Structure 1
């Protein structure tokens, strides 16, 4: 039984959907600061190359979050890594990424978004090389932590770079294009990881999953230096070092126990640590207020939370992260352990979901949101609920005999719903945010989504593993008397199928809550008003 628990825990960090949301968040908000970019960029074809660079970088981060999970067995065998080290390979990246996002966004506001983007992508590429050539588990864990920290510098800069490169009336097209590739990124990480590991290129086994970043990262640095325009906040700001320490400590105290809690048996110190994070966060808020009064240069601009759309959007991001954290984890476990599917088959099963997200994301930003506003996001939540209910019914109806093609319909419905939410959500959240604070706001949104993901992973141990453990305990005698490995596997599979259905009911409940919170979002995203004003100004200038 201990070996099966090791397999379950090892898989517990997989969350492609949450990563997809993070990637969309990084580029879909359009309230970034006006920098030194010329307003005449409309006719400049170079801006499309700049867009390709930042899109590729964000996509690279998205894939790298999920590509590792599929290759964990190969890493474990090749390096002789302990289970604790393997946990850190997967969780270390997420911890460093979440802890550094707010600081990374503010550093871009202060020192320049292009500069921080280039530092981030350079560091990310170097860290990828260190991961690929890791000689032992300790080196791999340290390199993954460095990767996450560099991603935290790179990702928050993307939306500001897009803003200064494209006029407002073109951003709908840009966000639609990016939303279309995010759906592919949601499942391409596991699929690419499965292929690269299975091919065993040059006998390198798992190492190409990291080394594939090298040519992409080098090209991003070279092209980024040439085509991306520098920008920074118009008002001189200083880095709030005390705020950095406090917010990083609060996030680590919350996220670390959640990501490691089940493996460690939910120790008392973990619960005390999570409770203490609220105390540290309260101290952080008090300090930021004092810092604002003192020199007007806090790490987080607390006045942002007085903007109704921002405060409501943060709440939506948090709860949406919880929903995705639960679903994508239990879905992966259900397919690979409960149904016994190979990583490659599980990755291919997710392709219809990916395509549906891509299609809906493009339509939502370009066609639907300008006409229907927040109703599009609420429709997305209800559509996801419909897909979940269909998935629950199919899991109960077909049991362990379910086929990949039978999952296609619920996954397409869910993907359409997710696409209607993830692409326009940040537009709505940032529509009322002052431009000079866009980097800080973007980092805060990304951090909130990561916190939601961590909370979702924590809840999985209750809403999924609790049911699985109960079913396996009550079916122990049956498992002991089962004929051969096939009989025992059917007992485990049935437990996972029950846990999967139970967990999905929780996701339905969370999405119902999201639907209600969305009423606090603006009826029409402010960006579209800005687009019209920009277009009118451009027309007036041509006369």
Structure 2
């Protein structure tokens, strides 16, 4: 049977008895009669975490309007969750091994629930950012325990079913995230608007805490392990020094200090590697097992994973901005527009793991990358052809193709990356892959400042200049102004549009947009129509640039896949030697 990501042990939960908590006689112990009830709690908690990773995207414009937040603050709301999650995944797994997986799971659920409440009642952008970052860190403590507890609670016969259910929950969360977020914001139940996407977690989290405390059985590593505090500090510092300047660069005008920080982050991360070697020599309890990186397919696979999810991070956030800010679509419309992508991803996420990759190996993933590039290229053409006149139906086929390609690449990627990793290091390998995935999302979200917003002013200038001849004619015909007045109004409109595109905070109205020539009712009506079209076209142009960048990223991913094994390593029956890995 092929190894799957759901079947692989979780962060820091290796197959040997040193880290799983499963001693050699574990198979002789009676099964926990509450294991299926415990699984329900675990799956609901995993569903909430996966849902929260995407549901906030579609509500972001509503948050920005109500809280008067800048683009960078909204980036932190979305990316800060992923970054904090990435930074605490490996630590969370180690804490479960040392202090107990049930205990750390409940701690994570409690933190996630409290932070959901804090996010739902936030009154300032910084309050929402802080709540989301701590919520992500709580998820990093909670999520590793889910697969760890499944691994030590079920026997070999039932474990496959439990992991399959976990994978199904992940697929449902990915499918429902954007659509459910749009519906919750659009319905505006009890006048809560975007706040409901966070507050809905609170009652579910409370039930999980009470019920989980009763039905989950405690487990931990039988051998005493030591927490690598210095490793945690070095790893966290290195990642923050790398990503923070990317997130804040546009807001701060790309200061030299930011580039110094990114350069210094490499030194800090090299220091982390050196310390992990020393920690291994001292007591054998490093935060990351460096020996895993001697496997070429694993190292190359991490590169593929990081680059791929950096592209996906750019796409998901840029796509939300394109739909809601650029095209002016409601959260519900944006959420429903995402359904073709979600359906495509759900279809191939299932078939790629069960059929395609076991039969065709890495070729199936490479075909998925080609389908993804075709979908992105089709989207580039559609966005360029229709601009601000694009509709949800016109982008349905490109989105479906993108979803098909994404599901084919993303779901089996952790499986094939870890297929040549020795079984005794499967848990550690899985933890690093999960962290790598979340970090890729965070870096991709940070790169929005460069890839998407970097061209907004230039695109706005070009689109406005293209509009001006027709705008002058329209002003004379509809607003009944003289040709001289039309020239002055057109000049004022151009200045306003360019200044507005350059604002870091979309809610700020530049002084150039309040001048007298633009305040006349008839003039405002004509200029408003042209302004809406121009914003739609400018955001379409920036999004096309992002799509082209993602095509380039996917092409690199396609080439790097040649370093991955051709086939998944097959599990052998107990007592039989393993076959030589495919190359």
| 1:205 aligned to which of 159, 181, 193 | 193
| 1:533 aligned to which of 573, 580, 583 | 573
**In structure 1, distance between residues paired with 2:414 and 2:225:** 24
| Stretch of structure 1 that moved more, 230-239 or 414-423 | 230-239
**In structure 1, distance between residues paired with 2:48 and 2:161:** 21
Work out whether 1:524 is the aligned partner of 2:512: no
- How is 1:430-469 mapped onto 2 (pairs within 5 angstroms)? 430-433=418-421, 437-469=425-457
| Contact 1:258/1:454 (8 A) holds in 2 | no
Output the aligned Cα RMSD: 3.1
Deviations 1:126-185 (A, max 9, x none): 222233344655544433232121111112233333333455676666555544443443
Unaligned runs of 5+ in 1: 1-24, 538-543
| 2:346 aligned to which of 347, 358, 383 | 358
**In structure 2, distance between residues paired with 1:196 and 1:535:** 53
**In structure 1, distance between residues paired with 2:556 and 2:30:** 41
Work out whether 1:513 is the aligned partner of 2:494: no
Work out whether 1:60 is the aligned partner of 2:48: yes
Q: Counterpart of 2:205?
A: 217
**In structure 1, distance between residues paired with 2:378 and 2:392:** 14
Work out whether 1:129 is the aligned partner of 2:117: yes
Work out whether 1:336 is the aligned partner of 2:324: yes
Pairwise CA distance, 1:318: 0.4
Work out whether 1:490 is the aligned partner of 2:533: yes
Give the SS at the match of 1:279: helix
Pairwise CA distance, 1:502: 2.3
| Stretch of structure 1 that moved more, 435-444 or 272-281 | 435-444
**In structure 2, distance between residues paired with 1:121 and 1:201:** 25
- How is 1:68-87 mapped onto 2 (pairs within 5 angstroms)? 68-72=56-60, 74-75=62-63
| Stretch of structure 1 that moved more, 416-425 or 63-72 | 63-72
Deviations 1:13-57 (A, max 9, x none): xxxxxxxxxxxx984634743445654899878544444333322
| Contact 1:96/1:146 (8 A) holds in 2 | yes
Q: Counterpart of 1:29?
A: 8
Alignment size in residue pairs: 510
Pairwise CA distance, 1:382: 1.6
| Stretch of structure 1 that moved more, 88-97 or 417-426 | 88-97
| 1:112 aligned to which of 85, 88, 100 | 100
- How is 1:409-424 mapped onto 2 (pairs within 5 angstroms)? 409-424=397-412
Q: Is the radius of gyration larger for structure 1 or structure 2?
A: 2
| Stretch of structure 1 that moved more, 241-250 or 110-119 | 110-119
Work out whether 1:194 is the aligned partner of 2:167: no
Work out whether 1:266 is the aligned partner of 2:254: yes
| Stretch of structure 1 that moved more, 402-411 or 318-327 | 402-411
**In structure 2, distance between residues paired with 1:128 and 1:339:** 29
Q: CA 1:185–1:42 in 2, change beyond 3 Å: closer, same or farther?
A: farther
Work out whether 1:278 is the aligned partner of 2:266: yes
Work out whether 1:503 is the aligned partner of 2:546: yes
Q: Bigger relative contact order, structure 1 or 2, given CA contacts below 8 A and separation 6+?
A: 1
Q: Counterpart of 2:498?
A: none
Pairwise CA distance, 1:314: 1.0
Q: CA 1:472–1:355 in 2, change beyond 3 Å: closer, same or farther?
A: same
Q: CA 1:357–1:83 in 2, change beyond 3 Å: closer, same or farther?
A: closer
Work out whether 1:93 is the aligned partner of 2:93: no
| Contact 1:47/1:227 (8 A) holds in 2 | yes
| Higher helix proportion | 1
| Stretch of structure 1 that moved more, 100-109 or 415-424 | 100-109
Pairwise CA distance, 1:490: 1.4
Q: Counterpart of 1:14?
A: none
Q: CA 1:508–1:109 in 2, change beyond 3 Å: closer, same or farther?
A: same
Q: Counterpart of 2:224?
A: 236
**In structure 2, distance between residues paired with 1:459 and 1:273:** 16
Pairwise CA distance, 1:273: 0.8
Q: CA 1:133–1:235 in 2, change beyond 3 Å: closer, same or farther?
A: same
| Contact 1:357/1:417 (8 A) holds in 2 | yes
| Contact 2:59/2:185 (8 A) holds in 1 | yes
Q: CA 1:409–1:297 in 2, change beyond 3 Å: closer, same or farther?
A: same
TM-score, normalization by structure 1: 0.84
**In structure 2, distance between residues paired with 1:436 and 1:115:** 25
| Contact 1:332/1:346 (8 A) holds in 2 | yes
Pairwise CA distance, 1:252: 0.8
**In structure 1, distance between residues paired with 2:575 and 2:325:** 54
**In structure 2, distance between residues paired with 1:83 and 1:403:** 25
Pairwise CA distance, 1:369: 2.3
**In structure 2, distance between residues paired with 1:403 and 1:535:** 59
Unaligned runs of 5+ in 2: 469-488, 494-525, 578-583
| Stretch of structure 1 that moved more, 143-152 or 462-471 | 462-471
| Contact 2:58/2:335 (8 A) holds in 1 | no
**In structure 2, distance between residues paired with 1:137 and 1:504:** 29
Q: CA 1:524–1:113 in 2, change beyond 3 Å: closer, same or farther?
A: farther
| Contact 1:160/1:438 (8 A) holds in 2 | no
**In structure 1, distance between residues paired with 2:402 and 2:139:** 28
TM-score, normalization by structure 2: 0.79
**In structure 1, distance between residues paired with 2:8 and 2:296:** 16
